[in-house]
Structure 1
Amino acid sequence: MVKLWPSRASRKSHLTATQTPAPRAGYHRAMTADELMSTSHRRKLLKVMWDLTSLTHDIFDRYIKAPIDRYAELVQALPASESHHHAYAGGLLDHTLESAVYALRLRQNHLLPPGAKPEAQSAEGELWSAAVIYAALLHDIGKALVDMDVILSDGSQWLPWNGPIQGDYQIRYRQGRDYHLHEVMGLGFAERILGNDVMQWLMEQPGLFSLLMYTASGHAERGGIIAQLSSQGDRASVAKSMGGNPVQALSAPVQSLQRKLADGLRYLVREQFILNQKGGIGWLTQDGLWLVSPKAVNELKTWLMEQGIKGIPSDLGRLYGEMQSYGIIQEVSEGKSVWKCAITDGAWQHTLNMVKVPAAMIWPDGNLPETFSGTVAPKGAAPDSTTTESESVAGKTISTAEADKKSNPVSDETGQGTLNDQGDTGAIEPSPIVAPNIDDDLLDMFPEMDTTTDVGTASTSSTTAIEQSLLVTEEPAPTAESVPNYADKKTTHSHKPREIAKTPATVGQQFWEWVSHGIVSHDLVINDTKAVIHVVDRTFFFVSPNIFKRFAKEVLNDRSLWEDVQKSFQRLGKHEKRADGVNIQTVIVSNPTGTQQSRLKGYRIKEPAEITRKMLPDNWLLTFA
Structure 2
Amino acid sequence: MFSFLRRPSQAAPNPPDTPSGDYLLPLSCQRLLSPPRRQLLLENIWQRASLSRAQFVELYRRPLKRYAELVQQLPASQNHHHAHLGGMLDHGLEIVAYALKIRQTYLLPIGAPPESQSAQAEAWTAAAAYGALIHDLGKIAVDVHVELEGGRTWHPWNGPIKCPYRFRYVKGRNYQLHGAAAALIYAQILSPEILDWLSDFPEAWSQLIFILAGQYEHAGILGEIVIKADQASVAHELGGNPARALSAPKQSLQRQLADGLRYLVRDTFKLNQPDGPSDGWLTHDALWLVSKPISDQLRAYLLNQGVDGIPSTNAPFFNMLQDQGVIQTNAQDRAIWKATIDNGRGWRNTLTLLKLSPALIWNDPNDRPEAYSGTVEMEISDSEDTVPDITPFTTPGPAISQGEEPGATSVVAPFVQSPAQVTGGDAGNFDDLLALLGNINEPSQPEDLPRTHAHSGNDQAQAIVEKIDPMPSTTTELGQAFMQWLKDGIAARKIVINDTKALVHTVAGTAMLVTPGIFKRYIQEFPHIERLAKAQQVNAWQLVQRSFEKQKLHQKTQKSLNIWTCDVVGPRKSKQLKGYLLLDPHTIFPEPPFDNTSLSLRSETMESSQ
Q: What is the TM-score of this pair, normalised by structure 2?
A: 0.49
Q: What is the TM-score of this pair, normalised by structure 1?
A: 0.48
